[in-house]
Amino acid sequence: MSISSRRKNKTINCQETTEVNCSIGNTTCRESEAVEVIEHSESSKKLNSWLSQIESHQLNGIPMTVMEYTAIVYWLQQLERKQLISLDLLARLESFRRKGFIELVGHQPAKANESWRLPKKVLCKASREEILFHQALFHSGVHGILGSIRIILTDYIAKRRDIFYLLALLASLYVPAVFTVLVGVLTGHIFASITEFFIHRDVAHATGKKKRKFSTLGKIGHYMTLLYTEHSVHHGSVSRNYTEIFAPADTGTSDAYAKRDARRDQVEKWVLNQGGAPLLQSVRKSFYGLTSSNLMRTHLFFIPSSILLTLLSHHAAQAVGLQPGIVFNASVFVISLMWIANSTIYHVYLHMTREDGLKKANPILRWYLKTRLSNFIARSHRTHHTMGGRVNQNLTPFADYFSAWSPVSIADLIELRKRKTFY
């Protein structure tokens, strides 16, 4: 949605304010109110007013929702971290937390459950947003491979269709032709993820000595500088508004256009100082880093390495007793270049509203954007924008888990939800 169209829509609803009292049966509105309470964690007045509503619901025999329980636990976490001690508020929140846990789980919390995390048997019945926000309560820090796997497995909640995926995978082990293709796809994916990891970390987010070496590498160094500049501009252009380039965080103000244009001019001036008019033209052509200004120069020169990988994989597959054919070779080659499509096509949609993205995507991409994997990557990508070069958060996941990976935070979920984008 553009700045102008959003400015015209001044209607206040339950997603924009907690001043509107939701009806007891309106769980969607109650969910939105709870998110608002999480977002405005500095307003104890708003919190007390909202707690009174929860108390009214309980008096009418209406149990607390998972999102409401999550908001209460979040507030208690904030009080502990910031050491904002209000004994009355603290006692009230602790009472609601205990009551909420008993209502949702059916029994008192175990002494070992000091985090007050709800079990999966409760979360599997909650809405998707309730699950995401509740799990994010217990996310923190940067993790290596073991920590990443632990978080992913802890957060994983099985769906009924997952059993069919598992059975299909197990069945493929007994069909040599299918199994061989799957090995090719896996090989290509691992190579794509490793390639993206190093390009993203050592070129797009190059610092210090790595960045200074670009000027000594001739044409390749020039292409590295181009990729670095476009990527840097991209991070700056969406730092205040995730789905509108250069726009301010609040696009409903009368000076939103002026702020956007001033920010764009500031960034373009920096680009001119870095590399003159040719570099600025390239940055503009890349839509300020959302995609690539010249695929052949910045990405497609990796094709030879994919050809070499395909040949090596073919011989390795033969060595272990597989029978790789054209389909196997094609799988390795095409999938090994998937990081390019992710970086230059799929990435663009992660910075659109969900509505716009689904309208503009082709049928295959539209299907993929709706999957759990895509939503997981979208959340991970937002975390990368928040933390910058500290975490890589690949669009082709795998290699990033071995270095530094961070799960999505409550603040990032609020931003993604506010922008109505993919998550």
Q: What are the tens digits of pLDDT across the range 307-353?
A: 999 999 999 999 999 999 999 999 999 999 999 999 999 999 999 99
Q: Which helix (H) or strand (E) holds 410?
A: helix 410-419
Model confidence at 402, pLDDT cuts 50, 70, 90, reads very high
How far apart CA 362 and CA 53 sit, in angstroms, is 45
Closest CA to 279 of 267, 290, 296: 267
Model confidence at 8, pLDDT cuts 50, 70, 90, reads very low
How far apart CA 259 and CA 256 sit, in angstroms, is 5
HSE-up of residue 276 (Cα within 13 Å, Cβ side): 1
Report yes or no: 3 and 246 within 8 Å, Cβ to Cβ: no
Quick one: tokens of 26?
């309106």
**Residue 10 pLDDT exceeds 50:** no
65 burial via Cβ count (<10 Å: 0-12, 13-18, 19+): buried
Q: What are the tens digits of pLDDT across the range 138-188?
A: 999 999 999 999 999 999 999 999 999 999 999 998 999 999 999 999 999
Mean pLDDT of 373-385: 98
Pairs from 200-204 (Cβ < 8 Å, separation ≥ 24): 200/392, 200/394, 201/389, 201/392, 201/403, 203/227, 203/228, 204/228, 204/231
Report yes or no: 74 and 41 within 8 Å, Cβ to Cβ: yes
How far apart CA 232 and CA 191 sit, in angstroms, is 25
How far apart CA 151 and CA 147 sit, in angstroms, is 6
- Of 26-30, 92-96, 220-224, 385-389, least confident by mean pLDDT is 26-30
Q: What residues are paired with 353 via a beta bridge?
A: 421
Model confidence at 67, pLDDT cuts 50, 70, 90, reads very high
